[in-house]
Chain A
Amino acid sequence: MNPETSGVTDRRGLLQRLLQVGATALAGAIGAILALSNNSVRAADGTVRRKYRYGMVIDTRRCVGCRACVVACKAENKTPPGVAYTVVVEQAFGTRADDKPLFMTKPCFHCESPPCVDVCPVSATFKREQDGIVVVDYNRCIGCRYCITACPYGARFFDFGEHYPAVAEGTPYAQVPSPEYGQFRKREPDESPIGNVRKCTFCLHLQDSEGRYDKAAGRWPACVKTCTGHAMFFGDFNDPESEVSRLLRERQAVRLKEELGTEPNVYYLL
């Protein structure tokens, strides 16, 4: 009897069927893994096809360690105690003749291969296709802090729900929302972003609908805008005429921990 006409599958037919299903599933799984292991916005020759590739160039010789960037970021993003999207680390070199310490402001580097993104169990943190900014979906994030462990640069912070005394719960200042992600969230107990991991967004809420910043209009990352020594430069690396592209061409720049293959989009001039 022909198994196809009878509607009954004999053992051989079943085995064939299973093999087919198995082979399809395997091919699918391999395809999915291959697709996932390549950055999807990366073309075959390794170049990045993105509308914008935002990044920074930071001149450590111009940095005086005033921390205006830290304060400007706090004022812009209304970050609570213990959360600072950029911090200034300083290191004294006792052997240096001029006795000048190194100051280095350190925002998120928005890496080309961000290790924080790969470890997130719920894909709550990801690299935006259009401009490469690494963001956190506050509604998706479960607050496991795995990404904090995975970031080699200490760019991520957990929001423990602390308040500065001046903006403590119940004060009128506490009602001032943060413009982050254009979501204008107020700090409420147990509500995101409390209990989430937070990080620098390059102030993406200042972009226009096309994803562009405007330095002249003041729609520019708060830290760069406020830097007293003009040590911070921001811009689009895809644009060869941008300030940051020019600086990379003309000066010797380094990126931190190149050996990890993260390819930061923030460069330092020494």
Chain B
Amino acid sequence: MGPQMLRRLFWMLGGLLFTAGLFGWYDRLVFGHLHANYGTVVPWGLGVTFYVYFIGLSAGAFLVSSLVYVFEMKQFERIGRLAVFTALVTLVIALLSIWPDIGHMDRVWHIFAYPNIKSPMAVITWLYAAYFVLLLCELWFLLRRDLITGASAPGLQGTLCGLLALGSRDVSGDSALRDRRVVKALATVGIVMAIMFHGGVGTLFGVVAARPHWHSALYPLHFLLVALVSGGALLVFASSIFAEGWKRNGETVRALGRIVLGLLLLDLLFQLSEWLIAFRGGIPSHTASLSLILGGPFWWIFWIWQGLLGTGVPLLLLVLPTRHDPRWVALAGLLIATGYFGLRLNIVIPGLAIEEIAGLSEAIASSRMAPSYFPSVSESLLGAWVVGFGLLLFGIGERLLPLVPKEEGYGRV
């Protein structure tokens, strides 16, 4: 199967998920939260999980791009722009995942008008806004010269490039040097921001002392590591299909695969610490959620999805001689990136699926009091729409924007 074929599959998948997912939006807008399966004991579900997962991908992809634009590692230069663009797309779909999840979508502005700075949720929302602007600026300065030259191309691509150049005409070497300085400054600030907002998501969960599964000092750090693993893995896969595919990016794919392998092993160490301390400590409230992960009704998310497909198989692919073939490395990237969604599910849901007071879930007769959760059809379709929208947005951007640098050799600034 060549990259051409994979790209066609990509477009079909994006279109299908997007179209089917429109029904999720219809249901959300007409019936509100009526058809959602979360309740009062498990008040967060698929929407929050998607949000946490995508925002992690964004932070991870951005931190990988900083290898090029801050740390000037030339071997990743070919995928630097792709990484920044991935960070932008995943940020947008992360926010689109969480937006319909809140009770009053029209009140999002309240977070900006009446922020409570003691709430991690308020702080990270402000950071997202700043990070969004930063990503747009960085991407523009990265693409500026190629947008100007691309404007002469015929058709839609030329028109779009001309529009996005925003009237800039300077293609001189001096201006290129200035662009690089600006990008380096932005990317440096961006590293701090990415660490703050994704560490912030870990903090959002970590500060909740009422849910012992979340209340761990490891959380902000673990979230950053998960972001790096999943974001790096996604880029491994993306750069094998896009930006001229594995035939051109083979070396980059293999190099990034090695980094992802290292991060994956480090992440396993983090996970091991969490399990070890909880089970050897033996406090029932700490182990309850973990036992649910291991042997609850959704045991397969841990053992099959996250463990076997998301960790075990890709680990082998990245260690065995298959590591030399970018196609196998790409498969490992895809498996890790999707497998880590299982990990995110196992953070959000089991942490909530333990009733805070024994007997609470049976105190009144309502499905909203159930201490278990499985997404409803409308929730799943809304999630499908978000994924489909992300794929299409990425595909369109990749086709129309100059995401592959024309000039090789990213000089020192």
Q: Residues of A with Cβ closer than 8 Å to B?
A: 32-33, 36-37, 70, 81-82, 84, 87-91, 104, 106, 115, 118-124, 140-146, 148-154, 156-162, 189-190, 192, 194-197, 256, 260
Q: Decide: A121 near B121, CB < 8 A? Known: A89-B363, A115-B210, A194-B32.
A: yes
Which of A37, A106, A190 has the most B CB atoms < 10 Å from its CB?
A: A190
Name B's interface SS.
loop
Q: What is the minimal beta-carbon distance from B254 to any residue of chain A, in angstroms? A: 42
Asked if B294 is an interface residue, CB under 8 A from chain A, the answer is no
Which residue of the partner chain, among A91, A145, A190, A196, contacts B359 with CB atoms under 8 Å?
A91
Asked if B39 is an interface residue, CB under 8 A from chain A, the answer is yes
For A157, what are the chain B residues with a Cβ–Cβ distance below 8 Å?
Answer: 40, 368
Give CA–CA (A33, B116) in the complex, Å. 11
Q: What is the minimal beta-carbon distance from A58 to any residue of chain B, in angstroms? A: 13
**A142 touching B108 by the CB < 8 A rule?**
yes
**A119 touching B103 by the CB < 8 A rule?**
no
Q: Decide: A146 near B210, CB < 8 A? Known: A90-B359, A106-B357.
A: no
**B104 touching A195 by the CB < 8 A rule?**
yes
Asked if B118 is an interface residue, CB under 8 A from chain A, the answer is yes
Asked if B412 is an interface residue, CB under 8 A from chain A, the answer is no
For B43, what are the chain A residues with a Cβ–Cβ distance below 8 Å?
Answer: 145, 148-149, 158
Q: What is the minimal beta-carbon distance from A198 to any residue of chain B, in angstroms? A: 10
Asked if B356 is an interface residue, CB under 8 A from chain A, the answer is yes
**A192 touching B104 by the CB < 8 A rule?**
yes
Give CA–CA (A89, B357) in the complex, Å. 8
Q: What is the minimal beta-carbon distance from A132 to any residue of chain B, in angstroms? A: 18
Q: Which residues of chain B in 343-378 are interfacial with respect to chain A, using CB atoms and an 8 Å cutoff?
A: 352, 355-360, 362-364, 366-369
Give CA–CA (A84, B39) in the complex, Å. 13
Q: What is the minimal beta-carbon distance from A33 to any residue of chain B, in angstroms? A: 8
Q: Decide: A161 near B33, CB < 8 A? Known: A91-B358, A122-B116.
A: yes
Q: What is the minimal beta-carbon distance from B101 to any residue of chain A, in angstroms? A: 8
For B208, what are the chain A residues with a Cβ–Cβ distance below 8 Å?
Answer: 115, 119, 149-150
Which residue of the partner chain, among A106, A123, A159, A160, contacts B116 with CB atoms under 8 Å?
A123
Name A's interface SS.
loop
Q: Decide: A144 near B209, CB < 8 A? Known: A106-B357, A162-B34.
A: no
Asked if B19 is an interface residue, CB under 8 A from chain A, the answer is no
Asked if B153 is an interface residue, CB under 8 A from chain A, the answer is no
Closest to A162 in B: B34
**A121 touching B103 by the CB < 8 A rule?**
no
Give CA–CA (A154, B364) in the complex, Å. 12
**B119 touching A121 by the CB < 8 A rule?**
yes
Q: What is the minimal beta-carbon distance from B115 to any residue of chain A, in angstroms? A: 7
For B113, what are the chain A residues with a Cβ–Cβ distance below 8 Å?
Answer: 122
Closest to A143 in B: B103
Closest to B111 in A: A121
Q: What is the minimal beta-carbon distance from B382 to any residue of chain A, in angstroms? A: 15
8 examples of A-B residue contacts, CB within 8 angstroms: A89-B360, A121-B110, A122-B107, A142-B102, A152-B356, A158-B33, A160-B34, A190-B32
Q: What is the minimal beta-carbon distance from A139 to any residue of chain B, in angstroms? A: 9
Give CA–CA (A202, B220) in the complex, Å. 37
Closest to A90 in B: B359
For B300, what are the chain A residues with a Cβ–Cβ distance below 8 Å?
Answer: none
**A36 touching B118 by the CB < 8 A rule?**
yes
For B114, what are the chain A residues with a Cβ–Cβ distance below 8 Å?
Answer: 122-124, 140
Asked if B335 is an interface residue, CB under 8 A from chain A, the answer is no
Q: Mark B207-240, 1 if CB is under 8 A from A, else 0.
A: 1111100000000000000000000000000000
Which residue of the partner chain, among A142, A146, A151, contacts B104 with CB atoms under 8 Å?
A142
Give CA–CA (A160, B368) in the complex, Å. 9
Q: Decide: A153 near B122, CB < 8 A? Known: A143-B102, A158-B33, A158-B103.
A: no
For A159, what are the chain B residues with a Cβ–Cβ distance below 8 Å?
Answer: 103
Which residue of the partner chain, among A115, A154, A196, contacts B360 with CB atoms under 8 Å?
A154
